[in-house]
Amino acid sequence: MKKRVVLKTAAMIALAATFGAVQAQTTPIKFQLDWRFEGPAALFLTPAAKGYFKEAKLDVSIDAGSGSGGAVTRVASGTYDIGFADLAALMEFHANNPDAPNKPVAVMMVYNNTPASVMALKKSGIKAPGDLNGKKLGAPVFDAGRRAFPIFQKANGIGNVTWTSMDPPLRETMLARGDVDAITGFTFTSLLNLEARGVKAEDVVVLPYSQHGVKLYGNVIIATPKIIKENPAAVKAFLAAFTKGAREVIARPEAAIADVKARDGIINTELETRRLKLAIDTVINSPDARAEGFGQVNAGRLALMASQVSDAFGTKTRVNPDVIWNGSFLPAKAELNSVLPAPKK
């Protein structure tokens, strides 16, 4: 009897040790989104909900954000291991903090085109970029479209404009009531916010940067140099799991919104489904993305963007594109290219 108890106890100890070893192999990852739990956040929330990160031996926690600048600095501080941020914000951080010990690096392209655009009401008479001469534009001071406006301005020969600053929740309200002539913002954010304020989509003029001579990249997945150096396998596993989830989100955006709803129960499901679809159609499954390949970048275009950001943002040092990007952790090209469906006819 005693022998059986001893053997049983030994077996339980061995099982616990084995379980502990398996648990020890799981890598905790703190992930920082660029914005709130809205439609596009499904790209990360779905692989988490489906268990793809867990299958990759990753314990990923996902937090909402308050802007790309904040996402970059939080990853740079070491508070987060991986994040999602506008590439221009990452470039600005590098160039303005050349001696920072922990500058994040872009490891995967997600928004192949910047979602930034200028939006105006048709009744303003603004129909094309040139009509913005002398107009009053509004946006938060940290808005990606506002920061990059000098590039849009130069590409389209726009003269002087004046700026009105406000907090993000007031941007679309001020346009709707005529306090400003136009605003800058992410199309899939501001257009739907305008609708929520009673403005019909057909009454809005949208001037996407990507369709008016500005080939800036948009949001990328960024990683801290610490995790890249100490656990490159975790970075590779994260991107593989993300790719698997992104393929499902793009194929079935309506279903993916349920994963966003699970994180923020007060979202408007219909609105966020439209927001996600708009993001997919305009900046993820875009002609440029299909030409370059999902997740990847074109070296020449990256170098041009680095130069443009240096000039437009007035950075302390020039942006060096060679230290911004590390594509060595990406899944195979065939796997990446399977993410994007064929263009709609």
**CATH number of the CATH domain containing 283:** 3.40.190.10
Let me know if residue 291 belongs to a domain.
yes
Confidence of residue 9 (pLDDT cuts 50, 70, 90): low
Let me know if residue 9 belongs to a domain.
no
Same domain, 102 and 131: no
Q: Is the pLDDT of residue 343 over 80?
A: no
Q: Is the pLDDT of residue 150 over 90?
A: yes
Q: 67-81 b/e with 16+ CB inside 10 Å = b?
A: bbbbbbbbbbeeebb
Domain that residue 49 falls in: 26-111+217-337
Q: What is the chain's mean pLDDT, rounded?
A: 93
| Cβ atoms < 10 Å from Cβ of 217 | 27
Same domain, 100 and 224: yes
Let me know if residue 80 belongs to a domain.
yes
Q: What percent of the chain has pLDDT above 90?
A: 89
Q: Is the pLDDT of residue 21 over 50?
A: no
Let me know if residue 267 belongs to a domain.
yes
Let me know if residue 5 belongs to a domain.
no
Let me know if residue 3 belongs to a domain.
no
Q: Is the pLDDT of residue 62 over 50?
A: yes
Place of tokens 């030994």: 10
Same domain, 189 and 168: yes
The answer to whether 50 and 262 are in contact (CB under 8 A) is no
Q: Is the pLDDT of residue 31 over 60?
A: yes
Domain boundary among 185, 211, 237: 211
Confidence of residue 125 (pLDDT cuts 50, 70, 90): very high
Q: Is the pLDDT of residue 16 over 70?
A: no
Same domain, 129 and 93: no
Model pLDDT, residue 3: 53
Within 8 A by CB and 6+ apart from 331, the residues are 239, 240, 243, 295
